[in-house]
């Protein structure tokens, strides 16, 4: 008797029930993909910035888009030096250039993405502003240091107004 022979194969109904519990892509994702298709149609090395307040789903959107367009996602949070939107900018810059040199689009997401790009002298080819559906959950509403820094960023860079696509 094989190692897994004692495991009963699931029925079609069990598989369907399990599958129906899986998360689905948000309808808004389709709108973003549609906006990007003309920009990325020939898969040239373009830089797409994904901006928005904390906790709005930028990373999830970026992962979805990188999957849909068979490209890379750079999550700037992974390069955070300490709380307060301070990053290892040199590593982010190097990684963006390496991905672009690979000849494919690259998605870069982060809370203060325009400030990051400004600091490393890179201009994104397309800028998405992904806003929280529940604004009360946004870091913009916070009264702590993080909220102050995010409001300062928004006043200086106007990310929603500057975006090629805001949702």
DSSP 23-90: ----HHHHHHHHHHHHHHTT----EEEEE-STTSSHHHHHHHHHHHTT-EEEEGGGGEEETTTEE-HH
Lowest mean pLDDT among 15-29, 41-55, 146-160: 15-29
CA 50 to chain centroid, in Å, comes to: 5
Sign of CA dihedral 105, 68, 52, 166: positive
Supply the Cα-derived Rg of the chain in whole angstroms.
Answer: 19
Lowest mean pLDDT among 33-42, 109-118, 126-135, 158-167: 126-135
What does the pLDDT average to over 6-35? 81
Task: Identify the pLDDT of residue 141.
Answer: 64
Identify which has the larger pLDDT, 59 or 12.
59
Phi, then psi, of 84 in degrees rounded to 5: 110, 20
Task: Identify the pLDDT of residue 15.
Answer: 80
Identify which has the larger pLDDT, 25 or 22.
25
Identify which has the larger pLDDT, 72 or 85.
72
Task: Identify the pLDDT of residue 139.
Answer: 58
Q: Can you read off the two tokens belonging to residue 29?
A: 């994702």
């Amino acid at each position: 008797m094989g190692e897994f022979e004692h495991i009963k194969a699931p029925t079609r109904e069990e598989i369907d029930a399990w599958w129906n519990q899986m998360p689905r892509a948000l309808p808004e994702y389709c709108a973003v993909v549609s906006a990007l298709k003309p920009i990325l149609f020939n898969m040239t090395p373009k830089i797409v910035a994904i901006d928005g307040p904390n906790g709005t789903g930028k990373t999830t959107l970026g992962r979805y888009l990188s999957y849909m367009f068979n490209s890379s996602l750079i999550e700037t949070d992974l390069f955070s030096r300490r709380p307060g939107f301070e990053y290892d900018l040199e590593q982010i810059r190097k990684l963006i250039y390496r991905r672009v040199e690979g000849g494919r689009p690259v998605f870069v997401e982060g809370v203060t993405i325009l400030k990051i790009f400004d600091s490393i002298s890179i201009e994104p080819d397309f800028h998405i502003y992904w806003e929280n559906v529940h604004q009360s959950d946004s870091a913009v509403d916070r009264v702590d240091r993080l909220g102050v820094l995010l409001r300062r960023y928004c006043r200086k860079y106007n990310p929603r107004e500057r975006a090629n696509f805001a949702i």
